[in-house]
Structure 1
Amino acid sequence: MNMIVKATERLCYRQLTVDDADMLFELESDPEVLRYINGGNPVTRKEFDKVYIPRMESFFNAEQGWGLWKIGLKPDDTYLGWILIRPMGFFSGEPEWNNIEIGWRLKKEFWGKGYATEAALNFKNALFNVESVNKITALAEEGNAGSIAIMKKIGMNFINVEVVEHDLLGKIQVVIYEVDK
């Protein structure tokens, strides 16, 4: 069954592809946006094209709704950022097909306006309309109060603090929040 994502009051969405690389790179270039992702180190265009784009393509699945989704502001579809949807542990070799990881990244000028919460709640609801999905999980660095607040606002519950192996960043300590269907 396909995940159906509908526009919300203020936002519209579409799956991103390699054709959106320039738009995606803009977020990866902002040290403030990357503060809780990789310590604020901007990604070079060469690294982005060689590593990030192939990663995105590897978990893209239009039928399942996996991938990065553009968050656009109505009425003109202004690019705010994206929502990530993919099976939890996708790069671990043991993906959890019924447990979907959700994440978000927005341009700094759109922080604190409720856009990420609106988008995340919309995607949570869309995911729970997919028969095979029984859990949604989100991860964040412990200091990322903004993302943790969004997790709580969309009904996710704190599970634990864990050191996880991130395929690009090595071992990182994160908080894990989940919500069951």
Structure 2
Amino acid sequence: MHAYLETERLTLRRFTPADVELLVELDSDPEVMRFLTGQPTPRDEIENVVLPEILKVYAEHPQLGTFKAESAAGFVGWFGLQPTADPKVAGVGYRLLKAAWGKGYATEGTKALIAHAFSLGMEQVVADTMAVNHRSRAVMRRSGLRFLKIYHEYFDDPLPGTEFGEVLYGVDRATWEAGRHG
């Protein structure tokens, strides 16, 4: 399958139904899931909900989606460029295997997706995380995103740290181009 996007060290491709095991491996690590669900994602949920949703976005928004990220050593996780309610705004996200943490992959992939979003005609790229997820916030800053606001959501079974809220980061096209982050 052809690459969606390539960086110096990463190749991003669309997921296929054959990639279930990669997603199970990624979402089975409690540390990876700490600020997301707080627990591993069950295999049946990946097979019946997560992967079908990923594939559905490709069909509905062919230039956007969640993309398998591979380095020379193999699968490292995924990066996403997601549609939002505003067709000129894309959401960027990432999830990496713990073995890939601290190697600069998250920043490298995120910067590339932000630049790609603007090449697709987007006017703004946003990302969010729990306020207490300092590693992800650092990736957002290094990638050229800037803090926009803190907000609070209600959760039936909140994760530790939820009381500190969620943070929204973003960058608009003019700011990105002025900063020459691409």
TM > 0.5 fold call: yes
CA contact (8 A) 2:151 2:166 kept: yes
CA distance in 1, matches of 2:158, 2:59: 26
Alpha-carbon distance between aligned partners in 1 of 2:19 and 2:29, rounded to the nearest angstrom? 17
Which amino acid in the other structure matches residue 101 of structure 2? W
The structure 1 segments of at least 4 consecutive aligned residues displaced by more than 6 Å after TM superposition are 169-172
Counterparts of 1:142-157 in structure 2, within 5 Å, are: 142-157=131-146
Note the residue ranges of structure 1 that are not aligned, 5 or more in a row.
89-94
CA-based RMSD of the aligned residues comes to 2.4
Displacement, 1:64?
3.6
Secondary structure class of the residue paired with 1:82: strand
Q: What residue in structure 2 maps to residue 92 of structure 1?
A: none
* More helix as a share of residues: 2
**In 1, Cα distance between equivalents of 2:75 and 2:17:** 16
Aligned to 1:31: 30
TM-score (norm 2): 0.82
Percent of aligned pairs with the same residue?
Answer: 31
Match of 1:176 among 154, 157, 168: 168
Matched, 1:109 2:105: no
AA aligned to 1:34 is M
Q: CA offset at residue 63 of structure 1?
A: 6.1
CA distance in 1, matches of 2:49, 2:168: 25
Among 62, 73, 81, the alignment partner of 2:77 is: 81
- Residue 112 to residue 121, structure 1, CA distance change in 2 (3 Å): same
Which one has a larger percent strand, Structure 1 or Structure 2? 1
